[in-house]
A and B are shown apart, each in its own frame.
Chain A
Amino acid sequence: MQAESATRSQSGRLTRLLVSGPPFVFLVVFFLVPALIMVLASVRFPGEFGALAPLFGGAPGEDSGLTLENYRFFFGDPIYAQIFLKSFGVAGLTTLICLVMAYPVALLIARSPKKHRDLMVLLCVLPFASNFLVRVYAWMIILGPFDLLFSRFAVIVGMVYVHLPFMILPLYTNLEKHDPTLLDAAQDLGANAWNRFWRVTFPLSLPGIFSGSALVFIPVLGMFAIPEILGGKDDWLVGNLIKESFLGTRDWPFGSMLSLMLTIAVLAIAGAAAWLARRGVARA
Chain B
Amino acid sequence: MALLEIRNVTRRFADFTAVDDVSLSVKAGEFFTLLGPSGCGKTTLLRMIAGFDLPDAGAIILDGVDLKDTPPERRPIHTVFQSYALFPHMTVAQNIAFPLRMAGKPETEVTAGVKAAIEQVKLTGKDDSYPHELSGGQKQRVALARGLVNRPRLLLLDEPLGALDAKLREQLQIELIRLQQDVGVTFVFVTHAQAEALALSHRIAVMNQGKIEQLDEPDRLYGFPKSRFVADFIGNVNMIDAVVARTGTALGLTLPALGTITAPGREGIAQGAKGVFIIRPEQVAIRAASEPSSDPNQFEGKVNNFLYVGDVTTYIVDLPGGQRIEALLPNSAPGRAKFFEIGDPVRVSWKAEAGAFLDR
With contacts A188-B73, A188-B79, A190-B73 known, is A204 near B89, CB below 8 A?
Answer: yes
Residue from A182, A190, A204 having most chain B Cβ neighbours under 10 A: A190
CB neighbors of B among A172-187 (8 A): 179, 181-182, 184-187
The CA-CA distance from A203 to B72 in the complex, in Å, is: 22
A284 within 8 A of B: yes
- By a CB distance below 8 angstroms, the chain A residues around B71 are 187
A191 within 8 A of B: yes
A116 within 8 A of B: no
With contacts A187-B73, A204-B89, A283-B89 known, is A195 near B83, CB below 8 A?
Answer: no
The CA-CA distance from A187 to B87 in the complex, in Å, is: 12
Is there an interface contact between A189 and B146, defined as CB atoms closer than 8 Å? yes
Is there an interface contact between B88 and A184, defined as CB atoms closer than 8 Å? no
CB neighbors of A among B295-338 (8 A): none
B-side interface residues, number (CB < 8 Å): 25
Query: Looking at the complex, which one of B51, B88, B89, B102 makes contact with A189 (CB distance below 8 Å)?
Result: B102
> Whole-angstrom distance from the CB of A186 to the nearest CB of chain B?
7
- By a CB distance below 8 angstroms, the chain B residues around A284 are 88-89
> Whole-angstrom distance from the CB of A14 to the nearest CB of chain B?
34
Is there an interface contact between B130 and A182, defined as CB atoms closer than 8 Å? no
Query: Looking at the complex, which one of B83, B85, B103 makes contact with A190 (CB distance below 8 Å)?
Result: B103
With contacts A181-B83, A184-B81, A283-B130 known, is A192 near B73, CB below 8 A?
Answer: yes
CB-based nearest B residue for A284 = B89
> Whole-angstrom distance from the CB of A223 to the nearest CB of chain B?
34
Is there an interface contact between A188 and B72, defined as CB atoms closer than 8 Å? yes
B339 within 8 A of A: no
- By a CB distance below 8 angstroms, the chain A residues around B103 are 190
Is there an interface contact between A189 and B98, defined as CB atoms closer than 8 Å? yes
Is there an interface contact between B81 and A191, defined as CB atoms closer than 8 Å? no
Query: Looking at the complex, which one of B81, B83, B87 makes contact with A200 (CB distance below 8 Å)?
Result: B87
Is there an interface contact between A184 and B102, defined as CB atoms closer than 8 Å? no
The CA-CA distance from A17 to B73 in the complex, in Å, is: 55
Is there an interface contact between B89 and A179, defined as CB atoms closer than 8 Å? no
Is there an interface contact between B81 and A185, defined as CB atoms closer than 8 Å? yes
The CA-CA distance from A66 to B74 in the complex, in Å, is: 73
Is there an interface contact between B99 and A181, defined as CB atoms closer than 8 Å? no
- By a CB distance below 8 angstroms, the chain A residues around B139 are none
CB-based nearest B residue for A206 = B89
- By a CB distance below 8 angstroms, the chain B residues around A181 are 81, 83, 85
Is there an interface contact between B79 and A185, defined as CB atoms closer than 8 Å? yes
The CA-CA distance from A187 to B102 in the complex, in Å, is: 10
The CA-CA distance from A186 to B90 in the complex, in Å, is: 12
Query: Looking at the complex, which one of A179, A188, A189, A192 makes contact with B83 (CB distance below 8 Å)?
Result: A179
CB-based nearest B residue for A204 = B89
Is there an interface contact between B85 and A184, defined as CB atoms closer than 8 Å? yes
- By a CB distance below 8 angstroms, the chain B residues around A199 are 87, 98
Is there an interface contact between B89 and A186, defined as CB atoms closer than 8 Å? no
CB neighbors of B among A140-196 (8 A): 179, 181-182, 184-192, 195
B150 within 8 A of A: yes
Residue from A188, A191, A203 having most chain B Cβ neighbours under 10 A: A188
Is there an interface contact between B130 and A186, defined as CB atoms closer than 8 Å? no
CB-based nearest B residue for A196 = B73
- By a CB distance below 8 angstroms, the chain A residues around B86 are 185
The CA-CA distance from A53 to B323 in the complex, in Å, is: 105
CB neighbors of A among B85-115 (8 A): 85-89, 98-99, 102-103
The CA-CA distance from A181 to B73 in the complex, in Å, is: 14
Is there an interface contact between B89 and A188, defined as CB atoms closer than 8 Å? no
B60 within 8 A of A: no
User: Can you add 13 more A-B contacts, CB < 8 Å, to A184-B85, A187-B73, A284-B88?
Assistant: A179-B83, A181-B85, A182-B85, A182-B87, A184-B72, A184-B81, A187-B52, A187-B72, A189-B150, A192-B73, A200-B87, A204-B89, A284-B89
- 30 of the cross-chain contacts (CB-CB < 8 Å) are A181-B81, A181-B85, A182-B85, A184-B52, A184-B79, A185-B79, A185-B85, A185-B86, A186-B98, A187-B73, A188-B51, A188-B52, A188-B72, A188-B78, A189-B146, A189-B150, A190-B73, A190-B99, A190-B102, A190-B103, A190-B150, A191-B73, A191-B98, A195-B102, A199-B87, A199-B98, A200-B87, A283-B89, A284-B88, A284-B89
A interface residues (Cβ-Cβ under 8 A, vs B): 179, 181-182, 184-192, 195, 199-200, 203-204, 283-284
7 nearest A-B residue pairs (beta carbon): A190-B102, A185-B85, A189-B99, A181-B85, A188-B79, A203-B89, A187-B72
